Structure 1
Amino acid sequence: MPAMDYHRQFHRAAIERGIPEDEVSKFTEFLRFAIWTSGRPNGVPVGRSGGLPRLPVGMGWPSSEYGPLPFVASFDCVALPRVDGLALPADGSLLFFLHHEWADDTCSIADEQEFARVVHVPAGTNTATAEEPDHDEEMFCNMTLDFVGREYDLFATVNADLPSWFEDDDEDEGSRSDNQEHLARNLPHIKELRALAGELWPESNGAAVYLGGYSMGTGELSTDYMYTTPETRMAEDILEAREKAGELLISPDGRDLRLEEEALRVMREWVPLAQFVPDDVYLGRFMIRHDDLAAGRFDKALSFTAFTE
């Protein structure tokens, strides 16, 4: 599917509304576009959720040492919309596997990867529908879940996405701290800019799988403004490692600001490849660096499963 310059479309519409150029440019730095896919046939057909995947002939079902990994969804890369900042493959298919309960039970990001896989099947590969592998009868603590999920088509729409700290309408101007500038929360026309994004790309009622955009948070605040996300977790690990190595000294009063700044740096380096809700209380999230995505290094994608209750 041909690419569309959504940022230019937004920029032109905002300028036509009389919003100053500097504000529009600053806001647009944080504006992302995500591909929302769901079973509602109100977009472009792009893939399938559940069922049995088509794997390359001779390839075994992706598994951990504890058993096969449940299949989440597959996407036809040719059919997916093109959005800036999400360099998906031009062809072939993307398949996602995750055992969210096993992944969430691990103690580290590294250990979690045992229970998650992203598979890119290049165009022209000889594939066949995989047979359901042998597995324990009860694969999940949630007894309502089956190993092979309900199969249905996925349809895609493009939605504008903004970070969570753009959404606070009720904050008292006098309560604002000094760390507003780098989060772009002090734009005089921020409400108008947000409203314009929603007008141009009306938000639908959720999705089965989200590609791109911003990471889902768990509802827990990491700082006064940022919710806990894969990016804040990575930023915390980076800062902790640098402190232990003696490369960095952070005062207690400056910790939140330093974490926000590091998380913003991580956000520029990484992108959510796929996000979904495998269970009512879990979030499944695959993150990947922009350069790894562009190079097709899907083995470098990282899973960040979260329990939200």
Structure 2
Amino acid sequence: MLDHWNTDRVHRFRIEAASRELPTEEVEEWLKTVKPAVFWTYEGDGPVAARLGGDALLPEEAPTPTAPLAATIDCSLLPSGTGLPLPADGHLLFFAKPNISFGGSKDGIVRYIPAGTRTTARSADSWYGAYPSHDLRMAWSGSSTPNPDTYALAKWGDDLDEEEDDRVTQLAAEITHAWTSVGGHWPMWTFALGGNTTVLNYDPLESVREDEPEDAEDWVLLATWRCAEEVKELDQGVMSWLIRRKDLATLRFDRAHIRVDM
């Protein structure tokens, strides 16, 4: 759902789409798939509400991580525009190994540390070294658009003939281009909460829904890390953490899944 912050952009997008003679019905259907998200970069102008890498701050009784710490998010500094039922305070910690075989449900890949918890710095019990530590500043909260190929596949399926497949994929790309041309596209970001998936070789959300068909439509994208060049094992890869919305609402982060792609 788009909030009031995006109202003017949506209005300009509709005008632009009409000027390109894009089908109104298809434009409106596409808009329904735009999701709210929060984005961070190394050089944003917002508060330092997140940190990449380093050691994890964990309670003494917590089990030692078996994967390096990817990111720490300060929930108290999150805006309301994530579209997810996230905790109001405390910290969310995301863990992952820089390996495309590191996927599925893994112990401790997302941990929630309530506010006021006494913690100490802990290194992961993993032969992978810690990720370089960087402060992340909030860049913006706003809209996240779907990948054109993923959108076309979800809407029209994969049983089209080659000509029809090319037509609908091109239509999705043209709608996306109309959006970006009116300012709907933002600068490169590093880490995000919520939003649509970042697709390289496959869509991580569709992947987890295929593997976990029960309550398939309840799965949502929790976080995405677009790994920079310092994560050399992945060569500009993407890590995606996914969770069922009902599990997120009850803080059952032990049920989260992860997908790593490059």
TM-score, reference length from structure 1: 0.63
Q: Deviations over 1:110-132 (max 9, x none)?
A: 5xx14x52111122x32233143
Task: Kindly state the Cα deviation for residue 204 of structure 1 after the two structures are TM-superposed.
Answer: 1.0
Question: Structure 1 unaligned runs (5+)?
Answer: 141-146, 169-173, 220-227, 242-264
- Within a 5 Å distance, the mapping from 1:108-187 to structure 2 comes to 109-110=104-105, 113-114=106-107, 116-123=108-115, 125-132=116-123, 135=125, 139-140=127-128, 147-156=129-138, 157-165=140-148, 175-177=163-165, 180=168
State the alpha-carbon separation in 1 of the partners of residues 8 and 87 from structure 2: 24
Instruction: Determine if contact 1:73/1:97 at 8 Å carries over to the other structure.
Output: yes
- Within a 5 Å distance, the mapping from 1:234-249 to structure 2 comes to 234-237=208-211
Instruction: Give the structure 1 partner of residue 4 of structure 2.
Output: 5
Q: Aligned residue pairs: how many?
A: 240
User: 1:39 and 2:39 equivalent?
Assistant: no
Percent identity for Structure 1 against Structure 2: 23
Instruction: Give the structure 1 partner of residue 223 of structure 2.
Output: 274
For 2:145, give the aligned amino acid. L
Task: Kindly state the Cα deviation for residue 94 of structure 1 after the two structures are TM-superposed.
Answer: 0.5
User: 1:305 and 2:246 equivalent?
Assistant: no
State the alpha-carbon separation in 2 of the partners of residues 120 and 175 from structure 1: 48
Instruction: Give the structure 1 partner of residue 71 of structure 2.
Output: 73
Helix, strand or coil for the counterpart of 1:127?
A: coil
Task: Kindly state the Cα deviation for residue 71 of structure 1 after the two structures are TM-superposed.
Answer: 1.1
State the alpha-carbon separation in 2 of the partners of residues 234 and 54 from structure 1: 29
Which of the pair has the greater relative contact order for Cα pairs under 8 Å at 6+ separation? 2
Instruction: Determine if contact 1:87/1:293 at 8 Å carries over to the other structure.
Output: yes
For 2:62, give the aligned amino acid. G
Helix, strand or coil for the counterpart of 1:33?
A: strand
State the alpha-carbon separation in 2 of the partners of residues 272 and 217 from structure 1: 12
State the alpha-carbon separation in 2 of the partners of residues 9 and 15 from structure 1: 10
Q: Deviations over 1:21-53 (max 9, x none)?
A: 755532221112332212113333211112222
For 1:98, give the aligned amino acid. A
State the alpha-carbon separation in 2 of the partners of residues 18 and 283 from structure 1: 31
Instruction: Give the structure 2 partner of residue 83 of structure 1.
Output: 81
State the alpha-carbon separation in 2 of the partners of residues 301 and 195 from structure 1: 35
Instruction: Determine if contact 1:10/1:197 at 8 Å carries over to the other structure.
Output: no
Larger radius of gyration: 1
| CA-atom RMSD in angstroms | 3.6
State the alpha-carbon separation in 2 of the partners of residues 81 and 275 from structure 1: 17
Task: Kindly state the Cα deviation for residue 302 of structure 1 after the two structures are TM-superposed.
Answer: 0.8
Instruction: Determine if contact 2:205/2:242 at 8 Å carries over to the other structure.
Output: no
State the alpha-carbon separation in 2 of the partners of residues 193 and 18 from structure 1: 10
Cα–Cα, structure 1 residues 53 and 235, in superposed 2: closer, same or farther, change >3 Å?
Answer: closer
For 1:81, give the aligned amino acid. P
Instruction: Give the structure 2 partner of residue 285 of structure 1.
Output: 240
For 2:56, give the aligned amino acid. P
Helix, strand or coil for the counterpart of 1:163?
A: coil
TM-score, reference length from structure 2: 0.73
Instruction: Determine if contact 1:51/1:151 at 8 Å carries over to the other structure.
Output: yes
Helix, strand or coil for the counterpart of 2:44?
A: coil
State the alpha-carbon separation in 1 of the partners of residues 94 and 209 from structure 2: 25
Q: Deviations over 1:248-281 (max 9, x none)?
A: xxxxxxxxxxxxxxxxx94x53222112225433
State the alpha-carbon separation in 2 of the partners of residues 127 and 75 from structure 1: 17
- Out of 35, 46, 51, the residue aligned to residue 54 of structure 2 is 51
Task: Kindly state the Cα deviation for residue 105 of structure 1 after the two structures are TM-superposed.
Answer: 3.6
Instruction: Give the structure 2 partner of residue 233 of structure 1.
Output: 207
For 2:111, give the aligned amino acid. V
